[in-house]
Structure 1
Amino acid sequence: MNILFLSIGRLNNIEDRGIYTDLLREFKNNGHNVYVVSPREKRLNKDTEYINESGIHFLRVKIGNITKVGLIEKGISTVMIESLFLGAIKKYMNDVCFDLIIYSTPPITFEKLIRYVKQRDNARSYLLLKDIFPHNAVDLQILSKKNPLYWYFKGKEKKLYKSSDYIGCMSQANVDFILKHNPEISPEKVEVCPNSLEPLEVNKDETIVKKIKEKYNIPFDKTVFIYGGNLGKPQGIDFLIKCLEANEYNGKVFFVIAGSGTEFNKLKAYFNSNNPNNAQLFEQLPREDYETLANSCDVGLIFLDRRFTIPNFPSRLLSYMQASMPVLAATDVNTDIGKVIEEGEFGYWCESNNVKDFNQKVAYLCDVKLQKTMGENARKYLENNYTVKHSYEIIMNHFK
């Protein structure tokens, strides 16, 4: 089959590890021809490029800047992506007949592009639903339902769902949410197709652990909790700060926060003002150092804003599970990530407005034996449920 994958993420190297690159390699390894269309921001000063890399065709389309820019510039650049992608596909891929189009949200603005390729090639389409927009923006009070932009994006969302032959959701709660709020969608085309990866063996060599902890001044005699990833409004940074404050004099634990995002400066201001002795904040670490450090910690943390009514399911969970780490998730009540974690017996959940409950779960996870058991359960659950082989088979089941 000829597979067209659309993404607004920068896919620099197909050998990189990630939920999309791992899945694309799985398609390639199963004999499919994979074509990827991804953006190349204007700031890179590079033109559109069509190239074959490691057996996968990449069409990198020059677009406006969509990261590290103001809201207006980002909005204009995002709206323009669809027409730029469409023009590039017509120019460079006009002689390729696609059998399947795979794309993810965000964004929700690919509907015309998908409809064009479907009609041209009689292709089928599969949406990997990673983000329910604009509903999530309303939850976080970024958009109001009185704002015309909300209704513009709502219309785009409805059209995207209609154009999708199949919709793969991250969890059952996502399936239920989509069907409840979009009764016009046939339940037959909505299913669970979870975040997944190609699991690597993580060797926690004591010499390497010692070296990386010494390099970044991480203690050896405390349970180290790590949060790694986006630090934006969806993560509910105010609650994270309250948790750090509540544990300031807890001599058994140490918190490592590593990431970037719109709320990073809020966290940095807290660290600058309070200088907590059992926590560290990192914005940019070398990729190899970050991965080594993350794999050397004891417990993985997940935070989501309690105001969410949509059921998010952060892919960050997978890297913790891959490293055989138990997980503590502090989230809203609508996501089912906590249910998965607790039923899989590889961690705990609390609501992200309950510091007392969070602290209680922190205390449980300081038990070394419990860490080991839950960590083993995490790795086992990953291998049984969240590998790219699972996702590949779910998608390809429609083509048998």
Structure 2
Amino acid sequence: MNVLFLTLVEINSIEERGIYQDLLRKFRNEGHHLTIVTPVERRKKVATNFNEKEGVSILQVKTFNIQKTNIVEKGIGTLAIEYQYLAAIKKYTSDIKFDLVFYSTPPITFAKVIEYVKKRDNAKSYLLLKDIFPQNAVDMNMLKEGGFLHKQFLKKEKKLYVISDTIGCMSPANVSFVLKHNPEVDKDKVEVNPNTIEPIAFSYSDEQKKEIREKYHIPVDKKVLVYGGNLGRPQGLDFLLETIQETKNHEAFFLIVGDGTEYAKIKNWFDYNRPENAKLLQRLPKEDYDKLLAACDVGLIFLDKNFLIPNFPSRLLSYLEMKMPVIAATDCNTDIGDIIENNSCGYKVIAGNQVEMQTKLKYILNDDLQRLGDNAEKLLNNEYLVDKSYNLIIEKI
């Protein structure tokens, strides 16, 4: 089967690890001919190109800078990418008849590309809904509700839902949200298709974990609670810093590993407060990050308390992969905390409620981390393996 995947994620190799790379590798390994359309930002000074690599075709499309740039170029680049992708697909894939086109949000601006491929090739379309935009931007006060831009993006969002034959959402709460706010969408074409991975085993002895901690000057006699990933406004990280400051339990040590728009602010807080119970590390290479994660005890998830959309951060899978219990401090609309508690692999907290956070920290520090970790592994194997996502998509063809 000829398969087309559209993404805003820069994919250079499907042998790397990640929710998209793992799924794409599964398609390749099952014998499908896969074409990946991925951006290469103009700052890279690389022209649009089409190459065969690792058993797949990769179409790199030169775009404006859409990551880590000013809001004007990001906005223009996001709108222009639809036309840039369409032109590249017409030029480089005219001799390929696709059976399936699937794609993820963000962005919501792929409608013309999808329509073209569906009409040209009579292809099926599948949306992996990883981000509900523009509502998330409204929640973060980055977009004025009811304003001109908001209305334009709403039209594009609804168009994307209409032209998608199937919409795969990350969790049951996401399915409910989409159907509630888009009553024109046929409920039979919306399903749960969660973030999934192809896990690998991380088996380190106590001595190896001690060596890893010593390498990064992390206490070997504490229970390390780690937050790893993007450090941005959506994560509501002021609550994490408040938690570090308010936690008096000498058994707990907090580790923050990541990068993003809020990194400088967090570093300034660390420089000023110099907390003895916490450490900040900037982004690490994936292999080093995984090793460090494997030497920690509890995973942390934070989301801004103002979110109305039910986000479901993929970092949960990294923690489950490490057989690590989790504390999720989130808004009240996401179901990630409920899933964690219902599967007995951690605790949920409403973001901003420090009393509740301290209670749940006490619970987890006094709990059997081995038991919680075993349950975390079971949850991963039952719900979040890449075979699940692949089979759900293939069933629709």
For normalisation by structure 1, the TM-score amounts to: 0.97
Q: Contact (CA 8 Å) 1:212, 1:289: kept in 2 or not?
A: no
Q: What whole-Å deviation, never above 9, does each CA across 1:33-54 have from its counterpart, x for those lacking one?
A: 1110000111111112211111
Does residue 135 in structure 1 map to residue 135 in structure 2? yes
Amino acid aligned to 1:216: Y
Q: Where does residue 299 of structure 2 map in the other structure?
A: 300
In structure 2, stretches of 5+ residues that fail to align are: none
Q: Where does residue 388 of structure 2 map in the other structure?
A: 390
Q: Where does residue 85 of structure 2 map in the other structure?
A: 85
Q: Contact (CA 8 Å) 1:101, 1:124: kept in 2 or not?
A: yes
Does residue 283 in structure 1 map to residue 282 in structure 2? yes
CA–CA distance in structure 1, aligned partners of residues 204 and 67 of structure 2: 34
Equivalence map 1:245-260=2 (5 Å): 245-247=245-247, 249-260=248-259
Amino acid aligned to 2:63: I
Q: Contact (CA 8 Å) 1:240, 1:303: kept in 2 or not?
A: yes
CA–CA distance in structure 1, aligned partners of residues 14 and 289 of structure 2: 20
Q: Where does residue 363 of structure 2 map in the other structure?
A: 364
User: CA offset at residue 250 of structure 1?
Assistant: 2.8
Amino acid aligned to 1:375: G
Amino acid aligned to 1:311: P
User: CA offset at residue 343 of structure 1?
Assistant: 0.5
Q: Where does residue 96 of structure 2 map in the other structure?
A: 96
Equivalence map 1:296-335=2 (5 Å): 296-335=295-334
User: CA offset at residue 384 of structure 1?
Assistant: 1.1
User: CA offset at residue 91 of structure 1?
Assistant: 0.8
Amino acid aligned to 1:365: I
CA–CA distance in structure 2, aligned partners of residues 125 and 158 of structure 1: 15
Q: Where does residue 372 of structure 2 map in the other structure?
A: 374
Q: What whole-Å deviation, never above 9, does each CA across 1:66-114 have from its counterpart, x for those lacking one?
A: 1121111111111111111111111111100001111000000000110
**Aligned residues: CA RMSD:** 1.0
CA–CA distance in structure 2, aligned partners of residues 295 and 149 of structure 1: 43
User: CA offset at residue 288 of structure 1?
Assistant: 2.3
User: CA offset at residue 284 of structure 1?
Assistant: 2.7
CA–CA distance in structure 1, aligned partners of residues 351 and 275 of structure 2: 21
Does residue 352 in structure 1 map to residue 351 in structure 2? yes
Q: Where does residue 231 of structure 2 map in the other structure?
A: 231
Q: What whole-Å deviation, never above 9, does each CA across 1:13-72 have from its counterpart, x for those lacking one?
A: 110011011011111111111110000111111112211111111001111111121111
Q: Contact (CA 8 Å) 1:329, 1:350: kept in 2 or not?
A: yes
Corresponding residue SS for 1:365 = helix
Structure 1 stretches of at least 4 aligned residues deviating more than 4 Å after TM superposition: none
User: CA offset at residue 204 of structure 1?
Assistant: 2.2
Amino acid aligned to 1:347: G
User: CA offset at residue 207 of structure 1?
Assistant: 3.4
Q: Where does residue 222 of structure 2 map in the other structure?
A: 222
Amino acid aligned to 1:74: K
Does residue 151 in structure 1 map to residue 148 in structure 2? no
Q: State which drifts further: 58-67 or 186-195.
A: 58-67
Equivalence map 1:187-226=2 (5 Å): 187-226=187-226
Does residue 66 in structure 1 map to residue 66 in structure 2? yes
Does residue 43 in structure 1 map to residue 34 in structure 2? no
User: CA offset at residue 322 of structure 1?
Assistant: 0.4
Corresponding residue SS for 2:144 = coil
User: CA offset at residue 155 of structure 1?
Assistant: 0.6
Q: Contact (CA 8 Å) 1:137, 1:143: kept in 2 or not?
A: yes
Number of residues paired by the alignment? 397
Amino acid aligned to 2:15: E
Corresponding residue SS for 2:184 = coil
Q: Contact (CA 8 Å) 1:4, 1:35: kept in 2 or not?
A: yes
Equivalence map 1:154-169=2 (5 Å): 154-169=154-169
Q: State which drifts further: 189-198 or 283-292.
A: 283-292
For normalisation by structure 2, the TM-score amounts to: 0.98
Does residue 14 in structure 1 map to residue 14 in structure 2? yes
Corresponding residue SS for 2:3 = strand
CA–CA distance in structure 2, aligned partners of residues 136 and 110 of structure 1: 18
In structure 1, stretches of 5+ residues that fail to align are: none
Amino acid aligned to 2:292: L
